[in-house]
Amino acid sequence: MNQEFRGDSPRPVAHLIRPRSIAIVGASADPRSFGGFVMGNLVRFGYDGELHLVSRSSAEIGGRACVGSVDALPEHIDLAVLAIPESGVLDTVAGLGRRHCRAAVLFASGYAETGEDGRLRQQALAEVAQAGGVAVVGPNCMGFTNFADRIPVTFEPLADPMVFAPRAGGPGVPITVLAQSGAMAANMRDAFVGRGLPISLAFSTGNEVSVRLEDVLAHCLDDPGTGVIAVYAEQIRRPGLFLALAARARRIGKPIVLLMPGRSARARAGAASHTGALAGDHASAITMLRRQAVVCVDTLDELFDVSAILSRYPVPADGALAFMTGSGAMKNIALDFCDDIGLDLPALSAETAAHLREKLPAFAVAENPLDYTTIGVRQPGLIGEIIDAMLADPSVGQMVLSIPAGPAVAQRDKAEHIVPALARAAKPVILVVTGDDGPIEDFFVQAIEASGVPFQRSPDRALRAVARIVEFGRSRSRADRADGTGRAAGGDPGRATDAASAQSTVPLPLGTGARVVPEYEAKRWLGGLGLATPPGGLARDADEAVAIAGRIGWPVVIKAQSADLPHKSEAGGVIVGLADEQALRAAFARLQDNVRRYRSGLSLDGVLVEAMGAPGLELVVGARRDPDWGPVVMVGLGGIWIEALRDVRLLAPDTAVADIVAE
């Protein structure tokens, strides 16, 4: 793990999220300046703390007196907002330190996101801020908005605060938006506001010179006004701390939904040029994050949809999915899609099926997914009874109902019968009204919004979000079980507390430094751990190879051995199926010639002679210690197929056997 952050503690940020005093440095009478936007937001939101203005060009703005420099500010201001160019930042932060200002929000760009020169400017900023005791949010950020306390500290011109109020009648625990990108924080905020969901805080951390994601995350865990935490991160700079906080979030029931780009090389390069992030091994990070039940998503749609559903149902359902529709075509589409994404649609109990048959027409099939046919046209109230029956099945933990909008009369029926049935459900339910952007009557929309039932126009998005939440539930159960067996829930990822396992380790055959270990050395090491390997030995010449083969039995395989030859097959360094002495001697000479042609001057330690294994499925098992995230284990289809199919799974090293089998 990155030593800089091992055992780190989060920085307190409550004073800057709920400041009792704010100074705007770079205040301006121009309402379209950054300083003007910040002041306008604070006035519109009714900020009632002390507000100080620093301006070189104005003695007063909007009836408020200005001072000419930060040196004229009162001491111990909670937060300064720096709406100034990069060229004046260092002197200003130093001045704030002299006035014992506790924190600052810095919008300016031109730091680590621009390359080496910018990185040096950011380092200098960090040193000045630390020396003065000023916690800096940013640089290269859009600040934050504390909606719970109506404190907007951002240059984005915000509308009247009532625009951000949760929709009347729409239940849901508040969502905190936490992003390194300011634009993404605004994007996420607007997506949730558009669904009428409560937002407690939207915070962008930018380049994170002082205040980082983990600091705000820790605050959110202590904040009773936070229920779900939606995160966009290009780099998690303190992995051990983040995992420890994720473990705590799991234990106290605050889901974390994370979108972290970096699966591709170009995305990693883009992160570096955006917020100065240095993305590490993405697969290792996701493996360890999921180990602590962080809901890791791949797309913005998933981030929006999963967070919205968890806001309504923060505890993942205990049970599988039921899918209901009035369309045979939609039923078949759902079957294929759920199979593609690994979402189980369990069979209904005999009692549930019998109950449904009493309500359905004779030609309908009482199963999951359920096509209730066109029965709702004549008996709209019956659909609510069918919903109740499906949700009463003990194997069903949640439901997705997919229906078309239909004509106005049909929408009235759905508003009066289907929506109330979903609203009274004791299990999580999602309503999908298909038809893409096709019109929906206002009364139907109002009924859905008032119900608080999660609403989608795409069955694909709804099902994909449910799949993520099902995965979240499994991850949470696995992590809870691991907590109960004495394994570490947070801190140094993957570090078990089992002393007996630590005592049974055998030193790796690496010598004084990391290197490629030839196969014969690695197998000796595995043998020392009690792991079986094929019988055989290292031969320096053909005679020795024949002697080994005679001892272990025919047929045999021979493999060239050198730390400088990690990929033997491409060099012709592996020859299989040698059934007798004549074949072995010829193959031994051919192998030597192959290696010489592949790389002139390469010296072999020898040739490994082993008994041929019986035909069967090849498995690859590997491990690596990521410098940031700790050890991860790889299991997958081995042999030549590992490169062709890349069918592998990464696991935390303390994953239980039962959980590996379940995967």
Q: If you ran DSSP here, which 8-state letter would residue 636 be given? A: E
Each residue of 90-99: pLDDT tens digit?
Answer: 999 999 999 9
Instruction: Tell me which of 500 and 653 has the higher pLDDT.
Output: 653
For residue 380, say if its preceding peptide bond is cis, omega within 30 degrees of 0: no
Quickly tell me which residue has 């379209």 as its tokens: 32
Whether the pLDDT of residue 105 is over 70: the answer is yes
163 by Cβ neighbours in 10 Å (0-12 / 13-18 / 19+) ranks as exposed
Q: Which of 304, 18, 16 is nearest to 148 (CA)?
A: 18
pLDDT more than 70, % of the chain: 90
Each residue of 586-601: pLDDT tens digit?
Answer: 999 999 999 999 999 9
Q: Give helix then strand counts, H and E, for the chain.
A: 24, 26
**Cross-strand pairs, 203:** 144, 178
Whether the pLDDT of residue 118 is over 70: the answer is yes
Q: Place 499 in a pLDDT band, splitting at 50, 70 and 90.
A: very low
Other beta carbons within 10 Å of 332? 13
Q: Which of 348, 300, 305 is nearest to 323 (CA)?
A: 348
Helix 282-291 with 459-484: angle, nearest 10 deg: 70
Q: Among 12-21, 48-57, 531-540, 639-648, which stretch is predicted with the lowest mean pLDDT?
A: 639-648
Q: Which of 13, 81, 92, 4 is nearest to 42 (CA)?
A: 81
pLDDT for 265 equals 61
Whether the pLDDT of residue 485 is over 70: the answer is no
Whether the pLDDT of residue 6 is over 90: the answer is no
pLDDT for 505 equals 57
Whether the pLDDT of residue 574 is over 90: the answer is yes
Torsion of CA 155, 159, 165, 168, to 10 degrees: -160
pLDDT for 1 equals 34
Q: Among 2-11, 106-115, 120-129, 406-415, which stretch is predicted with the lowest mean pLDDT?
A: 2-11
612 by Cβ neighbours in 10 Å (0-12 / 13-18 / 19+) ranks as middle
Average the pLDDT over 6-10 and give the result: 70
Instruction: Tell me which of 148 and 507 has the higher pLDDT.
Output: 148
Average the pLDDT over 218-228 and give the result: 97
Q: Which of 292, 285, 229 is nearest to 260 (CA)?
A: 285
Please give the helix or strand (H or E) that residue 585 lies within, else none: helix 581-598
Enumerate residues 6+ apart whose C-beta is below 8 A from 245: 10, 214, 217, 218, 221, 490
pLDDT for 575 equals 97
Whether the pLDDT of residue 641 is over 70: the answer is no
296 by Cβ neighbours in 10 Å (0-12 / 13-18 / 19+) ranks as buried
Each residue of 235-291: pLDDT tens digit?
Answer: 999 999 999 999 999 999 999 999 999 765 654 455 444 444 444 488 899 999 999
Whether the pLDDT of residue 116 is over 90: the answer is yes
Each residue of 339-379: pLDDT tens digit?
Answer: 999 999 999 999 999 999 999 999 999 999 999 999 988 89
Instruction: Tell me which of 325 and 495 has the higher pLDDT.
Output: 325
Beta strands 606-611; 536-539: pairing state: antiparallel
pLDDT for 615 equals 84
What integer best gives the mean pLDDT of the chain? Answer: 90
Q: Place 521 in a pLDDT band, splitting at 50, 70 and 90.
A: very high
Q: Among 34-43, 150-159, 402-411, 635-644, which stretch is predicted with the lowest mean pLDDT?
A: 635-644
Residue 646, by phi and psi: left (phi above 0), alpha (psi -120 to 50) or beta? left
Q: Place 643 in a pLDDT band, splitting at 50, 70 and 90.
A: low
Whether the pLDDT of residue 496 is over 70: the answer is no
Average the pLDDT over 205-227 and give the result: 97
Whether the pLDDT of residue 486 is over 50: the answer is no
Average the pLDDT over 83-109 and give the result: 97
pLDDT for 512 equals 52
Whether the pLDDT of residue 115 is over 70: the answer is yes
* 3-class DSSP state of 435: coil
* 3-class DSSP state of 556: strand
pLDDT for 498 equals 37
Enumerate residues 6+ apart whose C-beta is below 8 A from 634: 620, 621, 622, 623, 624, 648, 649, 650, 651
pLDDT for 266 equals 55
